[in-house]
Each structure stands twice: as C-alpha cells, then as structure tokens.
Amino acid sequence: MSADTVATTAAAGRAPRLDLDVITPNNVGQLRCLNSALFPVHYPESFYTEAANNNPLCQLGYFNQVCVAAVCCRREPIPNEGRKQRVYLMTLGVLAPYRGYGLGTKLLDYALDQCSKDASIAEIYLHVQDGNDEALSFYQKRGFTIRETVPDYYTNIKPSAAHVLVKCTAS
C-alpha cells in the first residue's frame, strides 16, 4: 500500500495502523536499510548487535506489512544516582512519504510508555542535530526540552553541533 493510502486513511479521521515488531537477527537488515535512508550518520556494527538483542525498546514499524519506521533506545545508569536509570533514544525515524500521519508519534509514545512502566527510569534523552528544526519541533511539542547544546558532537556531518533534549518520566 502506498503513502497515498496513509493520507487517505488520515484524511478520513482514522489513525493509520502501525504494527510494531522487536528487532531480531532475522530482521535487523531492515533497520540497516531504514537508517541508511533516514540518517546522515553511519552506525557501527555494535549498534545493530545491541538493537537485535531482543531489546523491547528497539522496534520496527510496519504499515501494511511494509517496514517504514523504527525506534531504537537503550537503558543507561545515571551516574551517582544509585539505581536510577535513563533511556537514550538512539534513533527514531519514519520514511519521508509516511511522515506527517502520526507514525513517529506512535513510535515515541511506545518508547515513553515502556519507560513509564519502570519506576527506576527517571528520564529519556536524545540528540538532535543543530539545524534540524523539524525534529526539534517534533520533540518539543511532545514535552522534551533542550538541556544543552554540544558543539562538535558530530564528527563527519555539518553542522556538527547537537542539542540534547530531555523529558522526565518519573514523578
């Protein structure tokens, strides 16, 4: 089914259906293809190994059985905070013809819901490249705030600065 079908479904007031599936060694190639199309950075093999290690925070998004989106997160300890953890949103992306129909929001909501189920998770954070106003707006509309801007965060792309966005998950 095409992106036109997504638009027709959205125009009719129905949310497009996005099925999620955990990333495994058998489907990690789809994540590689998506990331290659979506992001200007090259992810190392360790990224894909971690994503395909039955991590419920790493999901592929399928619209009518076509892989069009993905979200990949990892848990991290918060330094000097005992058992408190945070989640790093490594990637979240939707293929361009499928953007604007709520699929990215569904992926983000999934990640936030997973975080809310664990009281030890205090926050979720991510990096957004300086100048990526579309992504910055997307996250800010969903309650993320800029904690800091890191100059020269990216080594092989320009602009090289990145904003660190954070959203608290614990009350």
Residues with active-site annotation: 88, 127
Token pair 């497009």 in the structure block, residue: 16
Dist. CA 167–CA 171, nearest whole Å: 11
In the numeric block, which tokens belong to residue 92? 């979240």
Token pair 């989640």 in the structure block, residue: 87
The helix/strand/coil state of 121 is strand
What ranges make up the beta strands (E) of the chain? 19-22, 58-63, 66-77, 85-94, 121-129, 145-150, 162-168
* Of 89, 98, 88, 111, nearest in space to 37 by CA: 98
In the numeric block, which tokens belong to residue 45? 């093999």
